[in-house]
Every structure is written in C-alpha cells, then in structure tokens.
Amino acid sequence: MSYSAFLILYLVAAVYAANDWTKPCLDGICSYDLPSTNSSSPSGSMKIWGSPTAIGDITEAAGWKILGCSPDALSQDIRLVCMGDSDTSMCQHLYQGHGAVDTIVRLPENCGKGPFARVAKAWVPANQSIPASISARIVRRDGSQPQVQAITLDTNYAAVNNSKTGAVNLAIQGANVPGVNDILANSTTASQRRSRFNRRQLTNFVSDAANAISSALSSVNTIDINKSQALPAATFDKKISLFDQSLSCPPISASASVDVDATGNAVVTLGVAATGTIVPPKITDFSIIASLTADLNGELDLKADLSGTLDSGSIQLFQAGIPGLDFPGILSIGPTFEVNANAQATLDVNVDMTVGINYHVDNAQLFFPPKGQSSGGTFALGDTPLTLSADTTAAATGTIEGHIIPSINLGISALGVVDATVFLDLDASATMTLKVDAQAVGR
C-alpha cells in the first residue's frame, strides 16, 4: 500500500482519535468511531471541537447515568442523574457557560440513534424516581438522594444560538468497508501527540484524507470479486429487449429488434472525507471516493430488415442497494449500484447479428467532486465475438454500438442542510463497423 495511506494524522493533527468511553469529553474536543458490529461493517471516525462549554458529555465517564433512553431516536426526552456529589462532580460542566441548552453532547452507547445531539431543553422533572439498582450505586456524603434532571435531545443544530456557544467544528473520514480506521490510525508518534488543528491543516484535511482513503480502498479492493470478504458482490443475470419495432405499409413490412443478455458481478467500495461546522450546520469541504471492481459480460442480438438509425435509449438491467456510510444525524451516504444498457445502430442492410461485450474493471476510482485526481485502476475490453448473417446481394455498410453502463448513485444528506444525489458512471461499449460487398459471403 502507498505510504500516503499513513499520512492522514501527520498532515491533519489528531483527526482520528479512537473514542474512549472511559474518558469524558469536557475540554472542547470529542471523537466518535463507527462501531464494528460484524466483518462487513463500515468504518470511520469523526471529531468535533470548539469551546469547552459548547461541547458536553452525558456518558457515565462524565458522571451521568441515563434513566431510560431509546437507541433508535434522534429526538427524545430523557431523564438522567449525576452519580457523584452535584457540587463537585463533572456533571456541573453541562450547566456551565451558556447553560445546558444548545450544548452539543456526546451520547452514551445505545442511547440515541446518533453519536451527538443538541440539548434543546433542560428542566427538573416531577418524576424523581430512581431504580433501586442505580440508587444503590450513588454515593452522597450527606446520604441524600440526588436530584433527577431531564433534557430534550434533538439534532436541530441550526437552532443553536451560536452567538453564545461559538462555532463547533467537524471533521469526518470513513469508508463502507471495515478496517479503514486501523489504516488511518497508523502514524508517527509526533502526530499522535497533537490535539488541535491549525488553519493550514484544516484546509488540507479533505484532500489529504481523500488521498489516504483512496490508497486504503485500493488495498481493500485488490481482490477476486468472486471471493471478496470485505463486501458481498452485487451480481445479476438478465435478458431484456432494448428495442422492438415494426412498420407496415402493404405490401411492404419491416421490423427491427435489439435484445441484450447480460451478466455481471461487482464490488463497490466508498470512502468519504468532510469538514465543516456542526454549529452552525455547514459543510465547507467534501470528497467522495468510489472504487469499482467488476466483470460485465453481454451479448447484443440485433435483427433488422430496414434501413435507418436505431437508438434504444438507456434501459435499466439491474439495480441494488450496496452498503453505505452513516453517522446518524450528521452525515449519511446511501449508495445504489445500477447497470444500464444501450444499443445504437445505423444500417442500410438486412442483418441478423450477435455482438459480444466483455468488460473488466479493476479497482477503477472515481472522485466527486473531481479535483484533478487520477482515476487509477484498469479498464479492459475483452474479446468481442461477432456472429453475422447479412444480405449479400448488395453492397452496404453499417455501424452497431452496444453499451453496458455501470453506475454508482449516491444519496447524500448532511446536518439537515445538504440533500443531494450524485451519479458516477462508467461506459463499457463495443462498436462494430460492417462492410458487406455484393456477392460476398456474410461475415
């Protein structure tokens, strides 16, 4: 693998930092890593940083115990209690500065769908009950029961009064395959000692991260697509009519038809790097890297007894969702892999022919937005076998084009302010030029 895959932290100070659930986020910097739930889980990390009072923590590491919380909700009311003496514990951090409202807090595991949330409201609830299993663990010097607090959580970051909190910055890097965190975490000891961005490093983060992720995906995707353990291959086998039309003007009738019989399998890996601010919600720089390894095979069957130009238009052969990347409430990328076919012909000869299309894509990389990066990978057109039966009584020429077009379509949403779809296409095609001489044998 290229050494560039290991430069990410050297060039961008401490973008990657493993989320340590035993340490509180009370100094204005907080990290989150996507959980590894199985062998094909996506991997990635994000970091937010700002004023120490703009970012809080309601995990047990910061002294809080949550009394009931849905793991699937982005917005909800929760009750929580401080496990230490309220006057001296870390819990007081939540109420410092501008107060609890509009603080961006780190959430415990299995509390909330996302890693962070905004405190929209804070109050003392009427329900002061504490389960016995929890109250037994709370130690007060005076023996009193602690006061239960309540807060409303949501991800409406646009509602934060940033004149009071200041900006909360954001950096994200990740991929839809496992193990990228480990690759990006490797760096020099000096880089690991750094804890904050400087202006130049933040400016370069997305381009540096994109290059590092690109190298990482190249390593992940250098595989036999039929034996991939990183991601399951998308496969298809389909026969479809692209064009079927007849004309009748007695005593003359003519027809033309184009069918395609296509098979393929593909592995698509995705990486993303982004910077911006969570408060106010804004993405300032962004890059997606898509890597495709695929075998696409097809036969184009053309029958025509008329002269003219045919164009089937783009016809969908296959579409399937593929693993994406999701930092809930922050950034989500939902990709689909699609294969379309197209046939074009210009003929002035009766013809019955089959054109083969065999196309191999090896680790082709596409970038969005394009910033001059090399696409990388290889694109190889294999044998294009031709079987032809043509009218041999007259001289004639013609051109037939068959296209199999794989596409990676990305639905992107970020911070409630970005909602877009990106289409990344490759075109596998075979073009045949026919020349039929009078009295010749069809070829």
User: For 178-219, what is each residue's pLDDT tens digit?
Assistant: 766 655 554 323 333 333 444 444 556 566 666 666 665 555
- Domain boundaries, given as residue ranges, for the chain: 3-220, 234-436
Residue 125 Cα to chain centre, angstroms: 40
- The pLDDT, as a whole number, for residue 439 is 40
pLDDT score of 4: 28
Locus of tokens 């009584």:
393
Burial class (CB in 10 A: 0-12, 13-18, 19+), 287: buried
Mean pLDDT is highest, among 77-81, 259-263, 400-404, for 77-81
Q: How far apart are CA 178 and CA 283, in angstroms?
A: 25
Give the mean pLDDT of the chain: 76
Please tell me the pTM assigned to this model: 0.77
CB 279 within 8 A of CB 168: yes
pLDDT average, residue stretch 2-22: 46
Q: How far apart are CA 112 and CA 96, in angstroms?
A: 23
Model confidence pLDDT, tens digit, residues 353-366: 777 777 788 877 77
Q: Average of pLDDT values for 234-254?
A: 72
What tokens appear for 63 in the block?
A: 């002294």
Residue 142: pLDDT above 90? no
Distance between CA atoms of residues 241 and 257, nearest Å: 8
- CA angle, 10 as apex, 5 and 15 as ends, to 5°? 85
390 or 175, higher pLDDT: 175
